[in-house]
């Protein structure tokens, strides 16, 4: 059984994962209308992953005797300036999410809820990988600079950059 404090904290995270999904969906749509097909596909996929993160939390809360509540969401912005700025925002957003997961883990320790603590380890590992992914992409963007050919290749290849490939890059 979840304590009220843990249930509230988990519901807060459900909202953050849902908002993350919306943020990346908005980025996907922006990239699509700018003709950045590969980047757009990458963001659509990322948006789906965030929805999966949200659903996993919802199932957990309900299975543990709590009530996962679905709330209204903050509307994401719809303009991102340049794709470089957009990926910087993605990175900053993941740092924010990692902090939120850490705070959540802290609550489970305070409440001595080791089952939820154990469950959240998946999210801790996932955030390490997501941050690595975002850093890998920012490094590639810095290399490209303003080179149009580089952008063409980046847009083509970014679809292949997955959380797994970025994580193995950083351990090489």
**Which stretches of the chain bind ligand OFO, using CB under 6 A?**
17, 20, 50, 53, 94, 97, 126, 130
Structure tokens at 17: 């994962």
Name the residue nearer to ligand OFO (CB basis): 99 or 156.
99
Smallest separation (angstroms) from ligand OFO to the CB of 94 = 5
Distances (CA, A) of 155 to 33, 49, 90, 91, 111: 14, 20, 16, 18, 46
Name the residue nearer to ligand OFO (CB basis): 130 or 155.
130
Name the residue nearer to ligand OFO (CB basis): 103 or 147.
103
- The Cα–Cα gap between 108 and 9 comes to 9
Structure tokens at 11: 């519901």
Name the residue nearer to ligand OFO (CB basis): 15 or 117.
15
Smallest separation (angstroms) from ligand OFO to the CB of 140 = 19
Smallest separation (angstroms) from ligand OFO to the CB of 112 = 26
Smallest separation (angstroms) from ligand OFO to the CB of 77 = 16
The separation between CA 38 and the C-alpha centre of its own chain, rounded to angstroms, equals 18
Instruction: Decide: helix, strand or coil at residue 141.
Output: helix
Smallest separation (angstroms) from ligand OFO to the CB of 50 = 5
Name the residue nearer to ligand OFO (CB basis): 113 or 129.
129
Instruction: Please give the radius of gyration of the chain, using alpha carbons only, rounded to the nearest integer.
Output: 17
Q: Which residues of 55-83 are buried (b: 16+ CB within 10 A; e: fewer)?
A: eebbebbeebebebeeeeeeebeeebeeb
Structure tokens at 26: 């908005």
């Amino acid at each position: 059984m979840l304590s009220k404090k843990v249930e509230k904290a988990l519901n807060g995270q459900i909202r953050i994962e849902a908002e993350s999904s919306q943020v990346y969906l908005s980025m996907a749509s922006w990239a699509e209308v700018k003709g950045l097909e590969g980047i757009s596909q990458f963001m659509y996929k990322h948006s789906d992953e965030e929805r999966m993160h949200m659903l996993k939390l919802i199932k957990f809360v309900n299975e543990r005797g709590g009530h996962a509540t679905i709330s209204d969401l903050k509307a994401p912005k719809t303009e991102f300036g340049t794709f470089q700025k957009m990926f910087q925002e993605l990175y900053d957003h993941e740092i924010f999410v990692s902090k939120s997961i850490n705070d959540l883990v802290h609550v489970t320790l305070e409440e001595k809820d080791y089952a939820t603590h154990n469950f959240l380890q998946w999210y801790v590992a996932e955030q390490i990988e997501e941050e690595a992914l975002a850093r890998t992409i920012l490094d590639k963007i810095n290399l490209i600079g303003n080179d149009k050919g580089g952008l063409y290749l980046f847009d083509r290849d970014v679809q292949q950059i997955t959380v797994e490939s970025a994580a193995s890059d950083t351990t090489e």
